[in-house]
Amino acid sequence: MKRMLSGIKPTGQLHLGNYIGALRHFVDYQDEYEMFAFIANLHCITVPQDPAELQKNLKDCVALYLACGLDPSKATIFLQTDVPQHAQLGYIMCCHTYMGELNRMTQFKDKQAHGETNLSGGLYTYPSLMAADILLYDPDYVPVGDDQKQHVELTRDLAIRMNNRYGDLFRVPEPLVAKTGARIMSLSNPEKKMSKSDETNKGCIYLLDSEKVARKKVMSAVTDSLGRVHFDPVNQPGISNLMQILSSLQDDRSMADIEQEFEGKGYGDFKRAVADAVCGKLNEIQTRYNEIISSGLIETTLDDGAAKARKIAAVKLEKVQRAIGMEIIEK
């Protein structure tokens, strides 16, 4: 069975973009692959966090992973800091990453270009840590949104560099970007990605939003004046985004099929259908979330997951340190 690994960084509440772009795919993958899914809490603190809020987001994130259908008997689910080898290999990877490479990473560059000040060293070197997260487990595939592809490319470069220098240490992984739903856009500004950093909060549907709030966000989504439900992300970005959402929530139904259903109908009807699909999905997820959140399942899932992950990670870290010449005692 091929191995797959992905991390999720819950610096805020999980939203529909996370579900469509990442979570729902994990659920499909767990049957086909040996799946490792971890909560990237080290990555969370690369930007300032409120401790109480961070802890709530982390716990909610695990609960939502499980509520969306990730099954701890199939997938290994763990918290990054429960496996200290991530930080350890992260440092080693950092020492093998050129500053020129980090300077080219768009996430940091974008924040800098926006004039954000007091950016942390952790944020700058985070792609090296992400490489460690991946390479510890020798996955074949890393499913990511398109914004993360560059980081997986760097991971590949680092793996090849170290394999050439020290001998065969790492499997060189492939990024896996889902063709549909890789980029769900903000409902209030369809030129921008749906994101928790949405200033107005109107463009982002959180998985724990009430039905009323979620419905209102969909019904007030920005559209256009063309008045036809047609998939054309350039000229009708708002409508195309809503179509993308509907398609993703209805088994990747084709755009042609959606166009046909809404031919001659107004945007009001179309938005109501999208709102129904979104609220139906949120209701399903929230029902399970409420069962899980205080059931003890989160704790046992993380304990079991970390124990399994640590075994693999410890062997890999030891192998790397030995190859580099850092170890003295024979183990």
Among all residues, which ones are annotated catalytic? Answer: 111, 193, 196
Nearest to 139 by CA among 166, 172, 164, 91: 172
Which of 58, 62, 105, 144: binder of ligand TRP (CB under 6 A)?
144
Q: Which is nearer to ligand TRP, 85 or 223 (CB)?
A: 85
Q: State which residue, 128 or 186, has the beta carbon closest to ligand AMP.
A: 186
114-133: contacts with ligand TRP (CB under 6 A): 130, 133
Q: Which of helix, strand or coil describes residue 93?
A: helix
Is 106 or 295 the residue whose CB approaches ligand AMP more closely? 106
Does 9 bind ligand TRP (CB under 6 A)? Our answer is: yes
Minimal distance, residue 6 CB to ligand TRP, in Å: 4
Q: Which of 35, 135, 184, 207 touches ligand AMP (CB under 6 A)? A: 184
Tokens 């920005």 belong to residue: 222
- What CA–CA distance (Å, rounded) separates 75 from 133? 16
Q: Return the closest-CA partner of residue 281 out of 7, 64, 4.
A: 64
User: How big is the site for ligand AMP, counted in residues (CB under 6 A)?
Assistant: 17
> Regarding beta strands 174-176 and 141-143, do their DSSP bridges make them parallel or antiparallel, or are they unpaired?
parallel
Query: Which amino acid appears at position 241 of this protein?
Result: N
Q: Which residues of 268-297 are buried (b: 16+ CB within 10 A; e: fewer)?
A: eebbebbbebbbebbeebbebbeebbeeee
Q: Identify what 72 binds: ligand AMP, ligand TRP, none; CB under 5 to 8 Å per kind.
A: none
Binding status of residue 147 toward ligand AMP by CB under 6 A = yes
Residues in the site for ligand TRP, rule: CB under 6 A? 5-7, 9, 40, 43, 130, 133-134, 142, 144, 148, 151
